[in-house]
C-alpha cells in the first residue's frame, strides 16, 4: 500500500498533526476503503452579491458556485488512488445541499515529484482545467494549514500561468475540535481571495468522519468510483 500523499508532502512534520488529523489524512491507494464526512457549514459560498453572476458561469465546472448560505448541510467523499499517470492522489467529491439545489465541488490532489517539482498539486473542477501548487504547514497546536500558490489554466494545448494580479489564493485550515459534541468533531475553514475582487469563496464548518469499504472488496490502487471521476485527466502540472 502506498504512502499517503499528505505524509509524503509533510515528511517528519506529519507526526506533529493532531492524532485525529493523522488518521484523517492517512488514507492511501489500495486500502480498499474511502472516507465519508457529513456535517454542516456555518457559512458557505460567495458573500458578495455582485460577484455571484460571474460565478454562475463557472458552476458547470463543479468548483466555484454562486450561492451563499448559513447552516448548510454537506457531504464529502475522499478517495485515495493512483491517477492514470501513476501519481499517488486523493480525489474529493463534495455535495453542498443548498435550499433548492445541490452543488458539487470536485478536486484531485496529487503528489508530484517530476522534474524540479516536489510536493502537492491540486486539480480543481470537473474538467481539471485549473491546477495550483499547495504549500502545507503544521501549527504549534497540530492543525493543518494550506495555502494555494501559483496557479495555471489548461485551455486545450495551452498552459497559461496566472499572473499574481489575477490569481486567487486559497487559505485553508483543518483541525480536530474535542470540545464539540460528546465525541468531538472535525472542523475546516477555507477562504479564497482574489486581489482585485476580494473574498470570492468561503466555507467553514464541522463534520463527522468515517471510513467505509468499497463494494465487492475493491482494493486496486487505481480504483476510483465513477461518481468521483472527472470528465478528463490532466498530466501536466
Residue 37 · residue 208 · CB < 8 Å: yes
In this prediction, residue 171 carries a pLDDT of: 97
| pTM for the model | 0.95
In this prediction, residue 164 carries a pLDDT of: 85
pLDDT averages per 10-residue partition of the chain, 237 residues = 88 97 97 97 95 86 93 98 96 97 96 81 94 96 95 94 90 97 95 92 97 94 96 93
Q: What residues contact 170, with CB distance under 8 A and at least 6 apart?
A: 132, 146, 147, 148, 190, 191, 192
Helix (H, G, I), strand (E, B) or coil at 22: helix
What 8-state DSSP symbol labels residue 214? P
Residue 91 C-alpha from the chain's centroid: 7
CB count within 10 Å of CB 47 equals 13
User: In angstroms, rounded to a whole number, what is the distance separating the alpha carbons of residues 1 and 16?
Assistant: 23
Amino acid at each position: 500500500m502506498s504512502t499517503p500523499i499528505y505524509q509524503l508532502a509533510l515528511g517528519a512534520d506529519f507526526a506533529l498533526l493532531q492524532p485525529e488529523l493523522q488518521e484523517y489524512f492517512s488514507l492511501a491507494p489500495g486500502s480498499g476503503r474511502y472516507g465519508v464526512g457529513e456535517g454542516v457549514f456555518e457559512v458557505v459560498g460567495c458573500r458578495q452579491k455582485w460577484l455571484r453572476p460571474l460565478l454562475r458561469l463557472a458552476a458547470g465546472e463543479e468548483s466555484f458556485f454562486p450561492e451563499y448560505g448559513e447552516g448548510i448541510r454537506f457531504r464529502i467523499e475522499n478517495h485515495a488512488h493512483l491517477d492514470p499517470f501513476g501519481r499517488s492522489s486523493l480525489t474529493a467529491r463534495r455535495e453542498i445541499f443548498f435550499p433548492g439545489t445541490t452543488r458539487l465541488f470536485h478536486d484531485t490532489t496529487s503528489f508530484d515529484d517530476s522534474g524540479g517539482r516536489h510536493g502537492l498539486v491540486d486539480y480543481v473542477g470537473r474538467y481539471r482545467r485549473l491546477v495550483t501548487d499547495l504549500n502545507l504547514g503544521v501549527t504549534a497546536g497540530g492543525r493543518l494549514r494550506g495555502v494555494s500558490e501559483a496557479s495555471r489554466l489548461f485551455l486545450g494545448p495551452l498552459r497559461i500561468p496566472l499572473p499574481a494580479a489575477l490569481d486567487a489564493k486559497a487559505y485553508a485550515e483543518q483541525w480536530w475540535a474535542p470540545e464539540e459534541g460528546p465525541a468531538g468533531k472535525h472542523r475546516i475553514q477555507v477562504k479564497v481571495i482574489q486581489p482585485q475582487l476580494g473574498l470570492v469563496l468561503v466555507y467553514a464548518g464541522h463534520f463527522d468522519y468515517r471510513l467505509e469499504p468499497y463494494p465487492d472488496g475493491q482494493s486496486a490502487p487505481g480504483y476510483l468510483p465513477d461518481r468521483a471521476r472527472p470528465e478528463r485527466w490532466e498530466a501536466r502540472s
